[in-house]
């Protein structure tokens, strides 16, 4: 059966910052900007006109500390952005990324038991030094803050064990039974996140994420994480990145009869953009080839920085 991409498959990510009329260039992320709320609303108007119906929000806060507290306060940038978007565009599907890495001074996705690892070096054992209890508590508070602001979906990406269960429980208890959860279930410790870390200013200050993100050498743990998220109450699961991982996407599609999102990440986008600039290929043709492949492998939603261009080309 021939597969064709359509606009309903597309989710467009946004980076939100404080300020007025901000449209900040990100050096190595061509075509993507950090936007303040006013600029964001204008951009979403364009995206909506092109037929985009779903957005994913990332906050890039000014304030960072060891426990990422500004992720759940009232003035949080994602909280304010989600509220404003739902006011302007009630029908737009708003998904919020739920993580601590942009809010912690050390740049890790959880709260650490100790701020410095015992061993430094390329592969530190930071997995052991994430304080799971405090991290889960913080994630639940962020989920509630996002739900209160009107987010339709929260998307926990911290890779903390049992995060989906804890967040589901907190949402139900808080009266947000309708808020859905998109689990970043199979998230690999990947080299493809470079431009994103520049955008979100979220690179780890020391160590790496191999303690809590998956190793690319096997697929079994990824499928187990997906099964866990489904049993913990996720409404949709995710594989991330996309292109090096389409085997996992396809295995997940065959194994689980469940909604599946795939994240075509920043490094994958940069490949296409920089190659097109060098005239190595035609950008539009390449984008269609890649996004169609991701859909063919089994994606229902494709989170992609190409979404606006693809929607334009599909019109």
Separation between Cα atoms, residue 297 and residue 294, nearest integer Å: 5
Count of residues in contact with ligand PBG, rule CB under 6 A? 12
Q: Does 70 sit near ligand PBG (CB under 6 A)?
A: no
Contact residue for ligand PBG among 11, 26, 60, 101 (CB under 6 A): 101
Catalytic residue among 240, 273, 295, 308: 240
Is the Cβ–Cβ distance between 237 and 265 less than 8 Å?
Answer: no
| Rg value, the chain, Cα | 18
Residues 6+ apart with CB under 8 A from 155: 56, 95, 96, 97, 98, 181, 182, 183, 184, 238
Separation between Cα atoms, residue 41 and residue 22, nearest integer Å: 12
Phi first, then psi: give them for residue 289, nearest 5 degrees.
-60, -50
Between strands 54-59 and 33-36, the pairing is unpaired
Stretch that binds ligand PBG, among 26-34, 88-96, 164-172, 191-199 (CB under 6 A): 191-199
Q: Does 266 sit near ligand PBG (CB under 6 A)?
A: yes
- 20 as an active site residue: the answer is no
Residue 278, classed as helix, strand or coil, is coil
Q: Does 104 sit near ligand PBG (CB under 6 A)?
A: no
Catalytic residue among 64, 187, 273, 308: 187
| Bridge partners of residue 237, in order along the sequence | 183, 260
Stretch that binds ligand PBG, among 42-50, 87-95, 192-200, 220-228 (CB under 6 A): 192-200
Q: Which is nearer to ligand PBG, 72 or 196 (CB)?
A: 196
Least distance between ligand PBG and beta carbon 91 (Å): 25
Contact residue for ligand PBG among 32, 44, 47, 109 (CB under 6 A): 109
Least distance between ligand PBG and beta carbon 175 (Å): 27
209 to 228, contacts with ligand PBG by CB under 6 A? Answer: 209
Q: Does 197 sit near ligand PBG (CB under 6 A)?
A: yes
Q: Does 157 sit near ligand PBG (CB under 6 A)?
A: yes
Q: Which is nearer to ligand PBG, 109 or 111 (CB)?
A: 109
Within 10 Å of residue 279's Cβ, how many Cβ atoms?
A: 8
- 187 as an active site residue: the answer is yes
Please report which residue ranges of 30-131 form alpha helices under DSSP H. 37-50, 77-88, 126-129
Contact residue for ligand PBG among 186, 234, 265, 270 (CB under 6 A): 265
Peptide bond into 71 cis (omega under 30): no
Q: Which residues bind ligand PBG (CB under 6 A)?
A: 97, 99, 101, 109, 157, 193, 196-197, 202, 209, 265-266
């Amino acid at each position: 059966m021939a597969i064709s991409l359509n606009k309903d498959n597309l989710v467009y990510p946004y980076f939100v910052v404080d300020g007025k009329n901000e449209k900040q260039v990100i050096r190595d992320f061509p075509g993507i900007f950090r936007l303040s709320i006013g600029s964001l609303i204008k951009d979403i108007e364009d995206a909506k006109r092109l037929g985009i119906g779903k957005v994913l929000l990332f906050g890039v806060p000014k304030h960072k500390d060891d426990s990422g507290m500004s992720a759940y306060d009232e003035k949080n940038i994602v909280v304010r952005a989600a509220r404003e978007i739902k006011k302007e565009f009630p029908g737009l599907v708003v998904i919020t990324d739920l993580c601590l890495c942009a809010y912690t001074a050390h740049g890790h996705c959880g709260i650490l038991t100790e701020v410095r690892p015992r061993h430094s070096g390329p592969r530190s054992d930071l997995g052991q030094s994430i304080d799971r209890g405090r991290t889960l508590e913080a994630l639940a508070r962020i989920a509630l803050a996002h739900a209160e602001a009107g987010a339709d979906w929260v998307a926990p990406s911290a890779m903390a064990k049992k995060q989906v269960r804890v967040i589901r429980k907190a949402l139900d208890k808080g009266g947000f039974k309708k808020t859905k959860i998109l689990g970043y279930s199979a998230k690999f410790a990947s080299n493809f996140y470079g431009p994103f870390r520049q955008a979100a200013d979220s690179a780890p200050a020391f160590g790496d994420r191999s303690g809590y993100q998956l190793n690319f050498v096997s697929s079994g743990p990824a499928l187990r994480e997906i099964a866990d998220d489904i049993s913990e109450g996720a409404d949709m699961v995710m594989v991330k990145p996309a292109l090096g991982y389409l085997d996992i996407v396809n295995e997940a599609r065959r194994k689980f009869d469940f909604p599946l999102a795939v994240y075509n990440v920043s490094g994958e986008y940069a490949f296409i953009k920089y190659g097109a600039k060098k005239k190595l290929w035609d950008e539009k043709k390449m984008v269609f080839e890649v996004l169609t492949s991701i859909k063919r492998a089994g994606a229902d939603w494709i989170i992609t920085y190409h979404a606006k261009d693809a929607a334009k080309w599909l019109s």
